Amino acid sequence: MRALVELVRAPAALSVPGDVLSGAAAAGGLREVRGPAGLAAASVCLYWAGMALNDYADRRLDAVERPERPIPSGRVRPGTALAVAAGLTGAGVALAAAAGGR
């Protein structure tokens, strides 16, 4: 589990909801909690998916330049990283749809 947390760079996602909430506040949409909260959660999922997909795509370069990362170190298999990226993308899209996003 620790390797997957590292793969998606989980702590870095703490900055992601602020973008959505700031936009909702600027548009006057914070009165409704479901939309902004759901879109913030969707953004986090999509951010994590991008991190996993990036490491999947860069796995050969990372094997040379960053061998300590989860995929080149063997702690996460490439197929697992791709599955994580796909699952998080699906979750992000589903959350956005449930929140009323497009």
7-32 pLDDT, tens digit each? 999 999 988 888 888 877 787 766 66
Predicted pLDDT of residue 35:
76
Predicted pLDDT of residue 101:
58
- Write down the domain spans for the chain: 35-102
Predicted pLDDT of residue 38:
87
Within 10 angstroms of residue 64's Cβ, the number of other Cβ atoms is 8
Q: Which residues of the chain have pLDDT under 50?
A: none
User: Token match 């949409």: residue?
Assistant: 29
Within 10 angstroms of residue 87's Cβ, the number of other Cβ atoms is 14
Q: Return all residues near 80 (Cβ < 8 A) that are at least 6 apart.
A: 4
In this prediction the pTM is 0.85
Whole-number Å distance between alpha carbons of 23 and 41: 14
